[in-house]
């Protein structure tokens, strides 16, 4: 859907008027385009650890213009703060203030990325303090950036190196236009597993993916993105959406399965269809979901149970069938669509928020079950996304929801799809049990 306000104030007279009146000034975000450069402009790699040196060398191998020290007045495409070896809060001052001096030189749609260690794995109080401090630093910095720039972080578990496949995969994702609407967020790399693709434009070649709720909106965008990245796609939706589903299947040269996912045999039917039509199943994206909003005081059993049945119970049953099947044992990927409502809550959505919170809990608990055969499961939690549903919201509420994030605009279905496509790739093989918010750093709630 179109955000006309952003288009008007992002350039020319509209930009000048918005500045004079003190109105929000969102800019058109740099989103991924096949064949486009990963990042435009030099990349400053800040840090004096061996991990920083190794990362700088790797980025030069990607053909990026890497700086270890900023040049005065030079517009930077990205700043990477490598803080993997810090041991005390006092260690933060020098690297952070050095980077702070370069923030005014960031180009529009630039990227700031931290690479640090997981706080919870530290036993020494000082080490835990400095690692947790990076969290507060990064999230605060993300709220200070302007002109479409974003700040995100990569957390490395103990023993994971800065140049592990998934650390590099996460870094490429955060640098690229694929992460345009991801801001103020962290991805944790738990192992050195994963494989970087030979063709970065087609990272899903040879994979077979199933997308539920794919007839329209975010689900259709996910199907298109997985197809663009090389996967064969099975699109799933209820029989009532058959015409739209067939159109999406034709568009992605895939196959359609009309199915109510709340059926007890939904998981087996998905497996049978994928194996019969494509010979295998590698990726399952749980996108299907419904809302039946009411204040809890007015909530009836039908509204509560229907949301639970589709949004979480169906995913649990399908996952049980997947985990029991020999056709889902070759480094499989599951990605579920949660919601920021499941993290921060939302008035009138107690049933929906409970179901989406349930998705996050399910993902966390299922990760160890998939680890035995190099599988992963993760979730993506969208914030305000421009869809047909949000377009029907009252104007004042819609405009407030659009602007209450660090990027001062709503996201696009494509933004959710890009995050899912990354988490479904082998480059994310060392990332599991995580929930990545795609919300422009939503400013309301947790």
| Nearest one of 425, 379, 170 to 283, comparing CA atoms | 425
Q: What is the distance, to the nearest Å, from the Cα of residue 445 to the centroid of all Cα atoms in its chain?
A: 19
What the block records as the tokens of 212 is: 């539920």
Distance from C-alpha of 17 to C-alpha of 311, rounded to nearest angstrom: 44
What the block records as the tokens of 254 is: 């895939």
Distance from C-alpha of 225 to C-alpha of 202, rounded to nearest angstrom: 10
**Catalytic residue ranges:** 352
Count the Cβ atoms, other than its own, within 10 Å of residue 2.
8
Q: What is the distance, to the nearest Å, from the Cα of residue 427 to the centroid of all Cα atoms in its chain?
A: 14
Distance from C-alpha of 186 to C-alpha of 165, rounded to nearest angstrom: 17
In this structure, the dihedral spanned by the alpha carbons of residues 61, 62, 68 and 72, taken in order and rounded to 10 degrees, is: 140
Distant-in-sequence, close-in-space partners of 170: CB < 8 Å, separation ≥ 6: 154, 187, 189, 428, 431
What the block records as the tokens of 23 is: 């109105």
Q: What is the largest CA-CA distance in the chain?
A: 64
Count the Cβ atoms, other than its own, within 10 Å of residue 170.
31
| Nearest one of 445, 441, 427 to 200, comparing CA atoms | 427
CA torsion sign, 63 to 74 to 187 to 358? negative
């Amino acid at each position: 859907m179109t955000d006309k306000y952003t288009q008007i104030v992002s350039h020319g007279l509209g930009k000048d008027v918005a500045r004079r009146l003190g109105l929000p000034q969102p800019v058109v975000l740099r989103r991924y385009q096949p064949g486009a450069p990963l990042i435009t402009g030099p990349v400053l790699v800040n840090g004096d650890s061996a991990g920083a040196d190794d990362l700088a060398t790797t980025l030069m191998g990607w053909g990026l213009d890497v700086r270890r020290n900023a040049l005065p007045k030079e517009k930077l495409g990205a700043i990477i703060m490598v803080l993997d070896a810090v041991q005390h809060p006092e260690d933060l001052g020098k690297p952070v203030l050095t980077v702070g001096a370069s923030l005014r030189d960031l180009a529009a749609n630039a990227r700031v990325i931290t690479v640090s260690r997981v706080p919870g794995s530290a036993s020494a109080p000082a080490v835990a303090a400095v690692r947790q401090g990076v969290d507060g630093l990064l999230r605060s910095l993300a709220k200070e950036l302007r002109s479409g720039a974003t700040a995100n972080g990569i957390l490395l578990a103990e023993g994971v190196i800065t140049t592990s496949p998934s650390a590099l995969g996460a870094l490429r994702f955060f640098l690229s236009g694929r992460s345009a609407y991801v801001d103020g967020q962290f991805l944790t790399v738990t192992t050195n597993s994963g494989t970087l693709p030979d063709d970065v434009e087609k990272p899903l070649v040879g994979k077979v993916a199933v997308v539920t709720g794919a007839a329209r909106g975010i689900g259709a965008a996910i199907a298109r993105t997985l197809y663009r990245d090389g996967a064969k796609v099975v699109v799933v939706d209820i029989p009532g959406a058959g015409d739209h589903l067939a159109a999406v299947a034709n568009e992605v040269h895939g196959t359609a399965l009309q199915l109510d996912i709340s059926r007890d045999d939904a998981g087996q039917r998905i497996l049978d269809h994928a194996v019969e039509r494509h010979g295998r199943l590698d990726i399952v994206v749980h996108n299907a979901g419904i809302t039946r909003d009411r204040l809890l005081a007015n909530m009836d059993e039908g509204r509560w149970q229907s949301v639970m049945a589709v949004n979480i119970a169906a995913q649990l049953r399908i996952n049980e069938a997947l985990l029991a099947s020999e056709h889902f044992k070759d480094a499989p990927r599951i990605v579920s669509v949660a919601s920021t409502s499941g993290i921060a809550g939302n008035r009138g959505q107690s049933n929906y928020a409970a179901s989406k919170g349930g998705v996050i809990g399910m993902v966390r608990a299922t990760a160890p079950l998939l680890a035995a055969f190099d599988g992963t499961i993760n979730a993506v939690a969208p914030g305000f996304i421009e869809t047909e549903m949000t377009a029907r919201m009252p104007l004042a509420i819609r405009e407030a929801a659009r602007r209450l994030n660090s990027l001062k605009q709503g996201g696009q279905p494509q933004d959710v799809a890009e995050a899912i496509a990354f988490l479904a790739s082998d480059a994310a093989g060392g990332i599991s049990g995580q929930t990545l918010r795609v919300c422009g750093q939503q400013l309301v709630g947790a």
